[in-house]
Structure 1
Amino acid sequence: MIEKIDPELLINRISPQHGGDINDAFFVETNKEPLFIKTNSGVPKDFFEKEAMGLEELRSSGAVNVPNVLLYNQETENEQYLVLSYVSGNKEPATEAKLGQQLARMHQVTKSFYGLPYSNYLGTFQQESGEYEKWVDFYREKRLLPQIEIAVKKGYLKAAQKERHLQLLTRLEEWIPADPGASVLHGDLWGGNWIAGNKGEPYLIDPAVIYGDREMDLAMTALFGGFGSSFYKAYEAESNSKLNQEIWPLYQLLYLYMHLNSFGVSYLGATERIVQRFLG
């Protein structure tokens, strides 16, 4: 595999890495640069290609750091893999503030449409996309509705619950703006999807990129914790705007549906509470 990067690369040591629950991951020490390799035999053939494309979308913003994409499998190959530059360091007191500042700058990069021209993955769920004029339409039709349908199919949402959840979707315009600005979003920004480099600088990893409301990224940072006040203060200072935390639960709903459909009924109550909060 690595000879495709550089015929002179030689492997000195391979060490399994822990932390993710989807892929197998390895640190590879070579005679030149260290590498980070992810493999998975149970995902679609474009799984890592779409991750690589997402990393390049973030890199092209010019605002944030991401690992370098060195190699990934072609769809004609049987083995799914992604080779990245190895990033490792300690998060320093200023690292979170830098992340908030850089994320605000990244969100200033926008497109003329909402969504994405190609499908990608959130966890292992394939996300169909498209280019939409209205953000609320994209979010309802391409993100929330497919996850509700999966939850119904798996038996997590019964008939009465399904109707309530669908009713919320019909009223999203009451809270979610149609045209908030199509910022480039990481798309899955929980605490495990950013790391520090060897100088304490923040790096974003494992994106599920779309173009949409910046509040969606911020909502995810708050869902499972892991981001301190310095992050949010730096974000507000750099963006020169206040965060709209009132609508965050509507964006957190997507990730809770995904966890419901991935890990089971223990996440159902959280989705129900959000529906109750907005419908009464």
Structure 2
Amino acid sequence: MSEGARSPRLGARVADALETPVESVTELDGGEVGRVARVTLADGRTVAAKTGETPLGVEAFMLDVLADRGLPVPEVLYRGDDLLVLEYVEGDSEIIPVVERDAARHLAALHGERPAERDGASDEAAGKYGFPRDTLTGPYRQPNPWTDSWVAFFRDRRLRHFARKAREAGVLPAKLGDRLDALAGDLDSLLPDDPPPALIHGDVWANNILAADGRVRAFLDPACYFGHAEVELAYVAFAGSFGDAFFETYDEARGIDPGFDEGRRAIYQLVPLLEHLLYFEDDRYAAKIADHLTDLGY
């Protein structure tokens, strides 16, 4: 790709941040939010630079937590609210079965991680759901107050939170919102209240995976918190990130409890559907929410 019109300014900012001259800046295909560029430095290093309107320091914090817990992520070289400079990781998003199995083992290990003081969590966070700070999923805030009950956390901080945002944006029909609220009121009979509080990446889809030589080199763009590990599995299924090799390997490594495919997966997928409805304002996501609710009996 050719250098964008704003690249010289970005190059100057990276040079100032790393105190190293920049030789070239090349725009990359990024996500839906912000810009990503590959930056070649005069000292021979290559880094990735991200800019955007969302506070990028939040992403840096999440990457630090994930790296500390052993997940392969890019090293943070510079952090600011409007500029993030990361290690440039070689790889692509071509997902083949051997990569799926490697991803499954990484995520199964991550899901065994619990809140700890080294993440900035307080002693009172043990056994609770949330995160030391609010995080982001795309451009949207994820509220993460430490909560004793998983049902209460998912109901109030995820399902009702994003349903309310969608109502306020005028993209969630009133009747559909009422059906979601009816489901939310019954979650204590549909979800476990005290599953182990697993650390989840939160946004595992193909474009957020870099792979090479049959293994995952890096997981990108997290949306972290401690919650029910099945939220991650439901998102992987929602996004079509991986296929049977992933789920079979994950089940062997950590186990998938009975009932996930029969109901909890559809419940957990309502949240990314609401997020996509908010962002894309596409009625197809409202239709998928309605289908999920019908399948669940609401």
Q: Secondary structure at the match of 2:242?
A: coil
Structure 1: which amino acid aligns with 2:247? Y
1:248 corresponds to: 265
Deviates further, 187-196 or 166-175: 187-196
Structure 2: which amino acid aligns with 1:206? D
Alignment length (residue pairs): 269
Indicate yes or no: 2:55 matched with 1:55.
no
Paired with 1:60 and 1:240, the residues of 2 have a C-alpha distance of 24
1:77 corresponds to: none
Structure 1: which amino acid aligns with 2:76? V
Paired with 1:162 and 1:229, the residues of 2 have a C-alpha distance of 33
Paired with 1:195 and 1:201, the residues of 2 have a C-alpha distance of 6
Cα distance 1:134–1:259, how it changes in 2: closer, same or farther (>3 A)?
A: same
1:73 corresponds to: 80
TM-score norm. by structure 2 comes to 0.84
Q: C-alpha displacement at 1:6, in angstroms?
A: 4.1
TM-score norm. by structure 1 comes to 0.89
Indicate yes or no: 2:231 matched with 1:216.
yes
Taking every aligned residue pair, what percent have the same amino acid on both sides?
Answer: 28
1:120 corresponds to: 135
1:268 corresponds to: 286
Paired with 1:87 and 1:198, the residues of 2 have a C-alpha distance of 13
Paired with 1:197 and 1:110, the residues of 2 have a C-alpha distance of 29
Q: C-alpha displacement at 1:161, in angstroms?
A: 2.4
Q: C-alpha displacement at 1:94, in angstroms?
A: 2.2
Paired with 2:174 and 2:39, the residues of 1 have a C-alpha distance of 50
Q: C-alpha displacement at 1:159, in angstroms?
A: 3.0
Q: Aligned to 2:23, which of 12, 17, 21?
A: 12
Q: Aligned to 2:188, which of 162, 173, 180?
A: 173
Q: C-alpha displacement at 1:198, in angstroms?
A: 6.9
Structure 1: state its 5+ residue gaps.
Answer: 75-79
Structure 2: which amino acid aligns with 1:84? L
Structure 1: which amino acid aligns with 2:138? G
The within-5 A match list for 1:61-100 is 61-62=69-70, 64-74=71-81, 80-90=82-92, 93-100=97-104
| Cα-Cα RMSD | 1.9
Paired with 2:103 and 2:174, the residues of 1 have a C-alpha distance of 43
Q: C-alpha displacement at 1:100, in angstroms?
A: 0.6
Cα distance 1:208–1:147, how it changes in 2: closer, same or farther (>3 A)?
A: same
Deviates further, 184-193 or 243-252: 243-252
Structure 2: which amino acid aligns with 1:143? R
Q: Secondary structure at the match of 1:116?
A: coil
Q: C-alpha displacement at 1:197, in angstroms?
A: 5.0
Q: C-alpha displacement at 1:93, in angstroms?
A: 4.9
Cα distance 1:70–1:216, how it changes in 2: closer, same or farther (>3 A)?
A: same
1:154-204 CA-to-partner distances (Å, cap 9, x unmatched) read 223333322211111001122211111100011122222221257743411
Paired with 2:107 and 2:130, the residues of 1 have a C-alpha distance of 19
Structure 1: which amino acid aligns with 2:280? F
Paired with 2:232 and 2:261, the residues of 1 have a C-alpha distance of 11
1:2-61 CA-to-partner distances (Å, cap 9, x unmatched) read 345543x23222110014221111001122321001112x33xxx211111111121121
Q: Secondary structure at the match of 2:130?
A: strand
The within-5 A match list for 1:149-228 is 149-197=164-212, 200-228=215-243
